[in-house]
Amino acid sequence: MPHICVIDDKELMRDSISSALKRGGFNATTFADPVKALAAIRRSNFDLILTDLKMPQMDGLSLMRALREARVETPVIIMTAYGSVDNAVEAMRLGAFDFVQKPFEADGLCMQIERAMRHRRVCQDNEALKASIADMSRERRMIGDSAAIQKVRDLIAQFAESDATVMITGESGTGKELAAAAIHANSQRRERPMLCLNCAALSGNLLESELFGHEKGAFTGADKLRKGRFELAHEGTLLLDEISEMALPLQAKLLRVLQEGEFERVGSSATLKADVRIIATSNRDLREWVDKGKFREDLFYRLNVLPLALPPLRQRVDDVPLLIEYFLNRIALRSGRDPLQIDESAMSQLRTYPWPGNIRELENACQRAAATNTSGVVTSDEIGGWITAPATSSTQFGQLRHGRMLEDMERQLIEKTLEQFNGHRAKSAKALGMGLRTLGLKLKQWREAEAARIGQSEEVLADVC
């Protein structure tokens, strides 16, 4: 039950307010002396302070100053009689949330208290989110000493000094969003927001609304005006994740924003300005996508001003021990336990594994080890059931198409994992260390390719017949 501190020098008013608050579902503690109330506020954790403005011992303005000096963040509502509204406004300048004018109705007072407490919860959530983001930025750094990752760090430092668009490519789980965050954090726009939009997660119409916003009544369900990411990220950075999945008509509108710095909300003819730096990511070969007519060539060149290719984990195996140590130490710190150790045979197995899910899969393996290991030392026998060693049989390699070895190995591993979990995609994606959406996209691509192959075979058979 929310706890309200009520301060008023008149006993009748205190009793009346206390009764009204209890009927409204609040717990009230009353004080006649604001000095004693201030001492109690410093000791107790009140959810809201309700105080009179005119009191003999200490007026409301003096109380507000004392609360500010004590750094009390509890919301305050001032009660004031007619004729002292100017003083109430001054109290709000000192940090009061609102004021209520006497005489007032009990229901109206309870509604103001609920509104103040909602505002406090939103502020607390925002502070928690800021702290969480700060923790993530401290924790989520690029781990490794390999030449490949050092080259990535150097490019990030160079790109951060520029304001040009960046195109980050790499397989799923290689840390594309982490690289984008590092570029923004070291750029001149770091004090402004960085927003992210997954282009594969939304349909064309919804994606357009998310990017550019919409007017009230622009389409069914648009019951109010909504600002898009370009407006919200003004003077900041906008990360367009999986840009290859954006529909061609929307690509043309994005190209205009990049060229002219202008756009319109959906359902509006008013042109708005956009000062936003774009960072795009893709796990596809966009040049191949351009050749297939699925991505605009002019947009590709607009995005690919500063290209950054992230290496897969199998190309930086020297970083595997460092990454494992980092993940295990972080897990141990959060759980309050000693970090796990990896014996030599297990580490050798982990270094030679191809990691199709890259760093994300490696992190998931560390989490699984921390959750299931009881001895404190992970052995090769223990991890043998978690990862599939790369095939070494010449017969198996002979079945793979030239130039497509890694893709085929990835497909074999995904299909085997799906079979192990009886087709359960969520469990399979977690075991593979990839996102559920990424797994779904890969399966969809393979189905489409298989359907196209079958269709071509049927056409050939029809011609023969």
How far is CA 4 from each of CA 49, 135, 231, rounded to the nearest angstrom? 6, 33, 39
How far is CA 83 from each of CA 87, 101, 104, rounded to the nearest angstrom? 9, 10, 15
pLDDT tens-digit series, residues 34-49:
999 998 988 877 889 9
Token readout for 137 is: 């930025």
Residue spans of alpha helices (H) in 1-105: 11-23, 34-43, 60-69, 85-93
Domain with residue 168: its CATH number is 3.40.50.300
Cα–Cα distance measured from residue 200 to residue 428, given in angstroms and rounded to the nearest whole number: 20
Token readout for 261 is: 């710095």
Residues 6+ apart with CB under 8 A from 288: none
User: Is 441 a member of any domain?
Assistant: yes
| Residue span of the structural domain in which 331 resides | 315-383
Assessment of whether the complete model's pTM goes beyond 0.75 = no
Where b means 16+ CB within 10 Å and e means fewer, 3-33 reads: ebbbbbbeeebbeebbebbeebebebebbbe
**Percent of the chain clearing pLDDT 90 (strictly above):** 33
Same domain, 153 and 15: no
pLDDT tens-digit series, residues 108-131:
889 889 988 888 887 776 665 554
Res 149: pLDDT: 93
Maximal CA-CA distance, the chain: 105
Same domain, 276 and 355: no
Beta-carbon neighbour count of residue 234 at 10 Å? 16
Handedness of CA 231, 246, 444, 402 (dihedral sign): negative
Element counts in the chain: helices (H) and strands (E): 20, 16
Cα–Cα distance measured from residue 213 to residue 193, given in angstroms and rounded to the nearest whole number: 17
Same domain, 157 and 255: yes
Domain with residue 97: its CATH number is 3.40.50.2300
What is residue 401's DSSP assignment? P
Cα–Cα distance measured from residue 350 to residue 384, given in angstroms and rounded to the nearest whole number: 10
Same domain, 270 and 210: yes
Same domain, 35 and 76: yes
User: Confidence band (pLDDT; 50, 70, 90) for 103?
Assistant: confident
Beta-carbon neighbour count of residue 241 at 10 Å? 20
pLDDT surpassing 80 at residue 453: no
Same domain, 16 and 101: yes
Cα–Cα distance measured from residue 145 to residue 152, given in angstroms and rounded to the nearest whole number: 11
3-state secondary structure of 220: coil
Last residue of a domain, one of 288, 311, 334: 311
pLDDT tens-digit series, residues 148-178:
999 999 999 999 999 999 999 999 899 999 9
Least confident of 158-172, 255-269, 417-431: 417-431
User: Is 388 a member of any domain?
Assistant: no
User: Confidence band (pLDDT; 50, 70, 90) for 406?
Assistant: low
User: Confidence band (pLDDT; 50, 70, 90) for 462?
Assistant: very low
pLDDT surpassing 70 at residue 102: yes
Same domain, 122 and 24: yes
Token readout for 114 is: 């609920």
pLDDT tens-digit series, residues 309-326:
999 999 999 999 999 999
Cα–Cα distance measured from residue 462 to residue 458, given in angstroms and rounded to the nearest whole number: 6
Task: Output the CA angle 120-125-127, nearest 5 degrees.
Answer: 95
User: Is 228 a member of any domain?
Assistant: yes
For the purposes of burial, counting CB atoms within 10 Å of the CB of 213, is it exposed (0-12), middle (13-18) or buried (19 or more)? buried
Token readout for 282 is: 């893709």
